[in-house]
Amino acid sequence: QSSKKKIGQCVQAINSTLILTSKQNKKGSHTQILIKKAEIDAAVQLLLKLKVDYKQMTGQDYKAGCPPSENLIVSNNGPAADDCDGEDLVDPWNVSASSTKGVDYDKLIVRFGSSKIDKELLERIEKVSGQRAHHFLRRGIFFSHRDMHQILDAYEKHKSFYLYTGRGPSSEAMHVGHLIPFIFTKWLQDVFDIPLVIQMTDDEKYLWKDLTLEECHRFTVENAKDIIACGFDVNKTFIFSDLDYMGASPQFYRNVVKVQKHVTFNQVKGIFGFTDSDCIGKISFPAIQAAPSFSSSFPQIFGGKKDVPCLIPCAIDQDPYFRMTRDVAPRIGLLKPALLHSTFFPALQGAQTKMSASDPNSSIFLTDTPKQIKNKVNKHAFSGGKDTVEEHRKYGGNTEVDVSFLYLTFFLEDDEKLEKIKEDYTSGALLTGELKKILIETLQPMIAQHQERRKQVTDEMVQQFMTPRPLNFKF
């Protein structure tokens, strides 16, 4: 009932905001119109979240003017069946899908207001870069973007850009899903020969998790070793801890403060779902994640330039941070960052949620032994196969929900081999156990090689990557 009440209040707030916007429009006050638009965007995001909460509590879709019965019994059996599709919950901290096939990314594009990476954009990336598109792009793993065409326009005019991605160090060991943005970012860095900044949000993890500051900072160093093991060029890569860099860079902190001034408490509540009981550190944190989007935050790299475009490869659950950033950027005289969004790396138990470092049975860690990898895949990887060998041979398996096949789309680079596996599995020629064996034989050497590279990363190398300094590139 409280969720329903909040939804009603939110609808009233949207209506009143629209009325205010209309009045301001007649008066011709451009500044006020911009402010009201931002408030509307925040209110819409809050409304979407509340509708999801309402359905989770009542098992029904919210319908205006149709309150639930007073004696409604809320069960734990999932949402009630109706003629409306369930909504996926996607925010920076939670991902859950209503379908066993996972999140409906086409709907998410519409909901977030981004653009699909289509064939035309893929061809243009290949033309401008002079390289075949990465298999993450070809297979739709990176599926959505904001302003990628503008980045390519600038590059064609011999204007450089830089990359920004990040990692929230909540544990000592990273899992294979954490590698996805770094594998792709490494490819972008190599292909376009551009600098990269990697934000380690140890401050965020201290605010959100039951961890000490010392633990968060130690996890930053340990995670940085895994990131460096991906093969980034030390001459073009700066990795930084928020806990260290914020105090060492006045320009970075000034950009944080500029963003903070232009985002209201109502907006962050609407965008991120914060409540009155959240600590003030959480409420102010989004401005810290926004700041690396601006080249002036890194004077040692860009010499104080404010006009170097930024491209952010990230999972789409991070998009709320950068919608906020893109809304604020013009109002503080800075460029909007461009984005490339990836799908989520599914948990072993299925595509309805993403892999989590907090659940060891849902994840394959970069520290796992070959035996652990084999056991986890065989025991926990959700199967799209049939219950019996006879049924599977007759009807085939479902690659849309089979976790072993989904993982191969990320890590098996050979397109022809992947297509053959798909054909054999859907026809019933390939059994679930055989598909799992292919995945195990793909993951074991990949993770073993990563572990060997990580052993070569010394504390001195980490210090070199994390020292503020000029990087070697042309702009």
Residues 28-74: tens digit of each pLDDT: 444 444 445 566 666 666 666 666 655 555 445 555 555 554 333 33
Rounded CA gap, 117 and 114, in Å? 10
The Cβ of residue 246 has, within 10 Å, a number of other Cβ atoms equal to: 16
Quick one: CA torsion of 383, 388, 394, 395, rounded to 10 degrees?
A: -30
Rounded CA gap, 270 and 284, in Å? 14
pLDDT one-digit tens code per residue, 287-310: 999 999 999 999 999 999 999 999
Of the listed ranges 47-61, 138-152, 265-279, 325-339, the least confidently predicted one is 47-61
The dihedrals phi and psi of 354, each to the nearest 5 degrees, come to: -90, 160
Q: Is the pLDDT of residue 232 over 70?
A: yes
Work out the mean pLDDT of the chain and round it to a whole number.
Answer: 86
Predicted TM-score (pTM) of the model is 0.80
48 against 413, higher pLDDT: 413
370-456: CATH topology is: Tyrosyl-Transfer RNA Synthetase (1.10.240)
| pLDDT at residue 99, as a whole number | 72
| pLDDT at residue 154, as a whole number | 94
* Most confident stretch, 12-26, 61-75, 375-389: 375-389
363 against 372, higher pLDDT: 372
pLDDT mean over 72-83:
31
The Cβ of residue 412 has, within 10 Å, a number of other Cβ atoms equal to: 17
Domain ranges in the chain are 1-58, 91-349, 370-456
| pLDDT at residue 88, as a whole number | 75
Q: Is the pLDDT of residue 286 over 80?
A: yes
pLDDT one-digit tens code per residue, 151-206: 999 999 999 999 999 999 999 989 999 999 999 999 999 999 999 999 999 999 99
Q: Is the pLDDT of residue 23 over 50?
A: no
pLDDT one-digit tens code per residue, 81-134: 333 346 777 767 666 676 777 788 898 899 889 999 999 999 999 999 999 999
| pLDDT at residue 78, as a whole number | 27
Rounded CA gap, 273 and 275, in Å? 6
The dihedrals phi and psi of 403, each to the nearest 5 degrees, come to: -65, -35
| pLDDT at residue 22, as a whole number | 44
Q: Is the pLDDT of residue 20 over 70?
A: no
| pLDDT at residue 123, as a whole number | 97
User: What are the distances in angstroms from CA 94 to CA 217, 265, 316?
Assistant: 24, 21, 12
Rounded CA gap, 331 and 319, in Å? 19
Strand, coil or helix: what is 82?
Answer: coil
Q: Give kind and range of the element (H or E) at residue 404.
A: helix 403-411
Rounded CA gap, 281 and 201, in Å? 13
| pLDDT at residue 89, as a whole number | 74
Residue 6, Cβ density class (10 Å: 0-12 exposed, 13-18 middle, ≥19 buried): middle
| pLDDT at residue 26, as a whole number | 46
| pLDDT at residue 45, as a whole number | 65
| pLDDT at residue 5, as a whole number | 54
Confidence of residue 24 (pLDDT cuts 50, 70, 90): very low
In sequence order, the β-bridge partners of residue 115 are 145
Q: Is the pLDDT of residue 8 over 70?
A: no
Rounded CA gap, 188 and 310, in Å? 13
Q: Which superfamily, per CATH, for 91-349?
A: HUPs (3.40.50.620)
| pLDDT at residue 62, as a whole number | 59
Rounded CA gap, 35 and 21, in Å? 9
Place of tokens 């007073």: 70
Rounded CA gap, 18 and 36, in Å? 8
Q: Is the pLDDT of residue 226 over 50?
A: yes
